Structure 1
Amino acid sequence: MEGKVLELATIKDSIGKRSQPVDCSPKYAAETVNFPGCSPSRCGRLISDRVVTPHEARTLRHMASRAFALTGGSGGGASILDLHSGALSKGSAFVNVYRLPEAHDLLSEDDLRLYTGVKRRVAQLVTEHFGLEGGVLHLAKPTFFSRITAAPARTVHDQYWHSHVDKETYPSFHYTSLVYLNDYGSDFTGGRFIYNDKDANRTIEPKAGRVSAFTAGWENPHQVEPVADGVRFALTVAFTCDASQAISDPAHAGAAPSGPSR
C-alpha cells in the first residue's frame, strides 16, 4: 500500500535469523513441484547477519572495486561485475574482464576461495530455511556484484529502482539472495531493499555482511530505492532448481570461465 512502510531490518539490528513467511504464488508453486526436494516448505523471506562477517564483506567489496576501477564502471550509476561470464560494466556497454591485459592479477586464489565459500554458506542457509533437500540448489546466472551510485540513469539498464519479480526477469531463478557489502546511512543513503506487498512496503537497510534471501516468484515483488548519495555495493547470488540451468564457479584466478559474456 503506497505510503505505508514497515521495517524488516535496520542498520542497528544484529540479526541471527529473521524471517517472514508469505504464501507461494500459484505459478511458483506449480513450477517448483516439478523439481523433487526443491519446493519450499513455505515461501517467504529471511535475513541473517551471521553467515558472512563484516571483514569478509569488506574483502569482497575491495575485490569488486579493483575490477570496477579498470573500466570506471557504468556511466549511468548501476554497474555490474559477473565473474562467471566475465561481464564488467564499461560506460553503456560491457567488456569481458578476463580479456583485459591489466586484469591478469585481478583475483588471487584466496579471493576466489572466499567468493565460492560465501556462496556455499548462503546456499546452505537457503536450503535449511526453506526445507529443501541437500544438493538440489544450483548456482544460476546471472550471479554478480553490483555497484550503485547516485549518477542519473543513461540507459534502461540503469533503472534498477522499478518494482519487479525475479522469476519474470530471470526465468531460471527459484531462490535469490543478496550479500550486502557496505553500510546504509554511512557509506550511502537511499538504496534500501523494498518488498512491495499489498498492505505495505517492507524495507531492509543494507549492512556489511547481511544476507537477505527470498523465493523468486510472484509472491515477492521488490525494488531497490534510488541511491541518493555515496556508493552501494552488493553481491547477488541466484539459485535454480533446474540442473540444466546451472553455472560453474570460475576455475581459478585469472582464468576466464566458459561461456559468452553478456
Structure 2
Amino acid sequence: MKTSKASQRRTAKSTSQQGESSKPASTSTSASADPQTSLFSFRRIFMRIVFIAVTMYIVRNKFGNQLTTLVAVDTETEKATFDVICSDDYETRFRGCNPVHCKRVVMDGLFTMEEIEQLKRIADKGMALGGSTGGPTVLDLHSGAVSKGGKFINVYKVAELQGMSPVFTDEDYSLYKSVKDVIKHLIVSEFDVDPSHLYLTKPTFFSRITALPAKTIHDEYWHPHVDKVTYGSFSYTSLLYLSDYQKDFQGGRFVFLDSDNNKTVEPRSGRLSFFTSGSENTHFVERVRSGTRFALTVAFTCDKKHAIDDPQPR
C-alpha cells in the first residue's frame, strides 16, 4: 500500500471511531438473531426485489443494451467521481446526513491484496457451512445467516451444535471492522455527512455468485432495483470487490441504469465503489456466465433506529 493511502487509512480509523462513539448503547446488533428470524428478514428483502422487478424490467428495456464503461477492470484509479441528480427518496428529517449532492465514487488501492484475500477467506469459511444450490450465496457476519440450499442457516449455531472451533478469528473481525471504518470515513468525507448521524445498517454481507442456474426466485439476483426501496434502511451503499472481472469470472458487471444509457463499473479485486442509495442509482448485476464473483456489501443509514453494531467474536 502506498504511504499516502496508509496515512489516509489511519486518519479514517481515527475519524470513524469518533463518529461511532456517539452510537447509543441501547442499539442492538442482529448477531444474536434467531436463524428463522434471519431467514424471514432475507426472504422479505428478496420479495421486495421481486416486487419492483417488473417496473425496473420495463425501464431496463427502454434504455436498451447500450453500455458505457465508467471504470474498466484494467484501469487502476485513485478516485473517479460521477455526479448524478438526487431523487426525492430521502426524508427531510435526516438533515446533516442525507446527501445534498448525489454521486458514484470508485477508488482502487485502499486495501492491500493480503487484506482482500483475508476477506475472501472469511467468506469461504462461513459459506463452507452452507452454500446455495443456484447462483448466489450470501453470508451475514453480524447475524451468522448464510445461504444453504433454498433457505438460510446460522453458522454460529451450526458450529456450536457440531462442537466446532469458532468459525472466524479475532483477526477476521478486526479486519472487517477496519474496512468498515475506512468506508464510513470516505462516505462522510465525500458526501459531507455528520459522522455522528451515520450508522452501519443491515444487511451488510459477503456474496459469492457462480454461473449455477437459479433454482428459486430468490436466486435471481440480476433484477434491476433501488437499494433504498429494496432494503428500506439504506442511505449509502458500498461494494468492495474481492475478485476480478474477466480473470475470475465472466459477466457479473455492476450496471447503473441511466436515462441516456447504462453505465458499468467493472469489478476488480480491492476496488471500492460507493454511491447514494436512492433511485438516482438504480442498478443491477449482470448474470455471471462462468467462474466465481466475490464481493462485500457494506451499507449505512441516516436512521438511528436501523443502526447495528459491529459483529463480535463468537
Question: What TM-score do you get using the length of structure 2 for normalisation?
Answer: 0.77
The one-character-per-residue Cα deviations of 1:158-205 (angstroms, maximum 9, x if unpaired) are 100011101110111101000000111111111000001111110111
Q: Equivalent residues in 2 for 1:225-236 (5 A)?
A: 225-236=286-297
The RMSD of aligned alpha carbons is 1.1
Contact 2:226–2:282 (8 Å) recurs in 1? yes
The structure number with the bigger radius of gyration is 2
Q: Which residue of 2 aligns with 1:66?
A: 125
Supply the AA of the counterpart residue of 1:53: T
Q: Which residue of 1 aligns with 2:190?
A: 129
Rounded Cα–Cα distance in structure 2 between residues aligned with 1:108 and 1:220: 35
1:107 shift after superposition: 0.8
Q: Which residue of 2 aligns with 1:117?
A: 178
Contact 2:156–2:167 (8 Å) recurs in 1? no
Q: Which residue of 2 aligns with 1:37?
A: 96
1:44 shift after superposition: 1.4
1:70 shift after superposition: 1.9
Q: Which residue of 1 aligns with 2:307?
A: 246
> Paired residues, what number?
249
Structure 2: 5+ residue runs without aligned partners? Answer: 1-62
Aligned partner of residue 95 in structure 1, secondary structure: strand
1:251 shift after superposition: 1.7
Q: Which residue of 1 aligns with 2:243?
A: 182
1:36 shift after superposition: 3.0
Rounded Cα–Cα distance in structure 2 between residues aligned with 1:41 and 1:50: 27
Contact 1:58–1:182 (8 Å) recurs in 2? no
Supply the AA of the counterpart residue of 2:71: A
Q: Which residue of 2 aligns with 1:7?
A: 69
1:134 shift after superposition: 2.4
Q: Which residue of 1 aligns with 2:230?
A: 169
1:110 shift after superposition: 0.7
Rounded Cα–Cα distance in structure 2 between residues aligned with 1:236 and 1:75: 21
Match among 198, 201, 204 for residue 140 of structure 1:
201
Whether 1:100 aligns to 2:162 is: no
Whether 1:55 aligns to 2:117 is: no
Q: Which residue of 2 aligns with 1:260?
A: none
Supply the AA of the counterpart residue of 2:146: L
Rounded Cα–Cα distance in structure 2 between residues aligned with 1:10 and 1:200: 17
Structure 1: 5+ residue runs without aligned partners? Answer: 256-262
Name whichever structure is richer in helix by fraction.
Answer: 2
Rounded Cα–Cα distance in structure 2 between residues aligned with 1:106 and 1:96: 11
1:54 shift after superposition: 2.5
